[in-house]
Each structure stands twice: as C-alpha cells, then as structure tokens.
C-alpha cells in the first residue's frame, strides 16, 4: 500500500475512511429500519430527486469524522456543498445514493465516499449496508469487496451479461431511449436499481458488464470510477469534462472487452 501521494498519507486516510463509512452505514440503517414516516422529506426538483433528514445527518457524520482526523482536507458533498481545505485533498461524498429507494424501503441504496487529490481520484469506497458489502480501492492497488479481490466482467458481447442504466429528468428521454433500443436489439438486457454508485460497484465486481447514465453528478460516481478502473474495467474521462465538479456529465463504466462497443452505442468518447 502506498504511504504517500504528493506528501499526503493516502493509506491512513483509506483505513480511517473505511471505518467511517461503516459507521455512517450503521446510522443510515437505523433510519432505514425505523418508521419511514419519521423521515422529513424534501423534494429537490421532482419526486425522484429527493433528500431526507437521513442524507443530511449521514453526510455530517462523514464530514465530522474525517475532518477530525484530517482537518486540512476539503469536502464536496451532495447535501452540504463544497468546503475547501488547506491542501489538495477533496473528499467527495454521497451520503445516501438512491434516496428514493431508501425512503420507500427498497434496499438498492448505498453510501459513496471518494478522495480526490488535485484532479485525480485516488480512493473509492462504496458501502451497501443492506448487504453489508464494502467495495474499496486505492489508485494503483486493485479493488476489493469485503477484503477480497474483485475484477470487472470479461464479457465480449453485450448479450453476455446485464447492463446497468441510469436516468434522471435532467436530460430528455431521447438521450437514453436509443441506447436501450440498440441494447435490446443486440439481445442485451438492462436494469435500473436507482443508485448509480451501487451499479458502478457491481460493474467493478463483474456483476454488471457496464453502466451508463447520460448525466450524473460527481458525488454519485467518483468512488465508482476508482473502483471500476482498479478492477480492470474502463471509464470515460469524467474528470476531464468541463466544470465537472459543478455541472456533472455523462458516465460510462464497462468491462474492458465491451467498453469500445458501449462507447459507440452511447456516444461517449473512447480513445481506442
């Protein structure tokens, strides 16, 4: 394990963040297993884009616990925005990715925490409390699920496995319908489980051959990018998109053998 990156101790941050994300997951499960009527719900733009008191409190736990250990680091979270630090570290947090599922008592939600140093994502952690699965990776050191190595799918055709699809009302249906149509025409199949981060974790574990969403925010996918790449998969250059930390953009993650074809299918740039 690397001890430092630009003078920053990644290993210490990684080990601490693993404890923190599990602690945050325990708190989130207390909300999830409680009375849904007790969750104060706010709608952001539509009924599928919502935030609960659980989102806010779980993000606060993560910020406070990491901030206590590494007070010089900055944070970018879905609920509390950006707080710049005194160094190049930026923790990117989605306290509950899949809030609509969470508040409706469906288990397809997770907690996503990533660390960026400058413009590089170097730590990815996605915790699925309902399944007690922790997907983790450090840049250059491979990816694991609950401590065991994991690898992206080696599928050669889209018909060889299941594709994850994400969609929101931020973009028109015309952005996704042709992709689904071509996928089905090629005897592929897809799922949408309501959580980008969780489906990207599944890509890194080889459970899905790929994941595509025409527009996503950075906190939804940053940890997943590290996981997928470290598991031997491929992602588009999300961090090279203009103003991506503010504006977001398209994300495509895939096993190495179908990446080029899926990029052509979705219109995402692939260097090959």
> Would you say residue 120 has pLDDT above 90?
yes
Q: Which residues are annotated as a binding site for Mg(2+)?
A: 78, 94, 96-97, 220
Question: What is the structure's pLDDT at 236?
Answer: 96
| Distance from the first to the final alpha carbon of the chain | 31
Beta partners for 52? 41
Which tens digit of pLDDT belongs to each residue from 11-54? 999 999 999 999 999 999 998 988 655 555 555 544 444 457 88
> Would you say residue 6 has pLDDT above 80?
no
**Global pTM value:** 0.92
Q: Which residues are annotated as a binding site?
A: 78, 94, 96-97, 220
Q: How far is CA 8 from CA 11, 24, 87, 157, in A?
A: 9, 24, 9, 41
- Confidence tier at 265 by pLDDT (50, 70, 90): very high
Cβ(137)–Cβ(144) under 8 Å? yes
* Domain annotation for the chain: domains and CATH numbers: 10-149 (3.30.540.10), 158-266 (3.40.190.80)
H helix or E strand, kind and range, residue 101 = helix 99-103
Cβ(203)–Cβ(229) under 8 Å? no
Which tens digit of pLDDT belongs to each residue from 205-252? 999 999 999 999 999 999 999 999 999 999 999 999 988 888 899 999
Which tens digit of pLDDT belongs to each residue from 67-114? 999 999 999 987 788 889 899 999 999 999 998 899 888 999 999 999
Neighbour-count burial of 260, counting CB atoms closer than 10 A to its CB (0-12 exposed, 13-18 middle, 19+ buried): middle
């Amino acid at each position: 394990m690397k001890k430092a990156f630009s003078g920053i101790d990644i290993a210490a941050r990684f080990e601490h963040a693993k404890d923190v994300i599990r602690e945050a997951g325990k708190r989130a499960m207390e909300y999830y297993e409680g009375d849904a009527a007790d969750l104060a719900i706010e709608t952001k733009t539509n009924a599928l884009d919502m935030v609960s008191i659980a989102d806010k409190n779980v993000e606060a736990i993560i910020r406070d616990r990491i901030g206590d250990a590494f007070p010089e680091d900055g944070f970018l979270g879905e609920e509390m925005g950006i707080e710049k630090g005194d160094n190049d570290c930026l923790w990117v947090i989605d306290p509950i990715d899949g809030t609509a599922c969470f508040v409706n008592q469906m288990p397809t939600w997770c907690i996503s925490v990533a660390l960026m140093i400058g413009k590089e994502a170097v730590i990815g952690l996605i915790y699925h409390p309902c399944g007690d699965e922790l997907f983790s990776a450090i840049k250059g050191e491979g990816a694991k699920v609950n401590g065991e190595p994991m690898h992206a799918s080696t599928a050669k055709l889209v018909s060889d496995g299941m594709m994850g699809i994400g969609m929101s009302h931020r973009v028109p249906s015309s952005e996704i319908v042709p992709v689904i149509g071509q996928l089905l025409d090629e005897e592929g199949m897809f799922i949408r489980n309501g959580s980008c981060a969780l489906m990207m974790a599944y890509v890194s574990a080889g459970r899905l051959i790929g994941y595509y969403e025409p527009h996503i925010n950075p906190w939804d996918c940053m940890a997943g990018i590290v996981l997928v790449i470290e598991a031997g998969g491929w992602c588009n250059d999300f961090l090279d998109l203009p103003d991506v930390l503010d504006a977001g953009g398209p994300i495509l993650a895939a096993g190495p053998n179908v990446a080029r074809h899926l990029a052509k299918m979705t219109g995402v740039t692939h260097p090959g």
